[in-house]
Amino acid sequence: MSRLGRLLVIWGVLLPLLALPTTGEWGPGTVVILGIGLKQRAWIFGYPIRFDAILCAGLLLVGIGLSVATLARQEPR
């Protein structure tokens, strides 16, 4: 896998976890992920984002990353 492909796949997987506190799905309060309390402060980032949009963006990054990695592995004959 090329480096760019790996980075895109990693960011695509981590994007939903990183953006979860800013989604506004649970209202104000604390969101607990893996035992870590994250204070939800949607006003810091402008406006709350829907979680399905974040999942779509993550899947898009994973798909592009796998495509880049596959195309980079092909050798000319």
- pLDDT tens-digit readout, 11-58: 898 888 877 766 665 555 555 555 555 555 544 555 566 778 888 888
- DSSP alpha helix (H) spans, the chain: 3-19, 51-73
What is the DSSP code (8-state) at residue 16? H
- Cα 52 from Cα 63, distance rounded (Å): 16
Q: Is residue 36 within 8 Å of 9, Cβ to Cβ? A: no
The model's pTM: 0.61
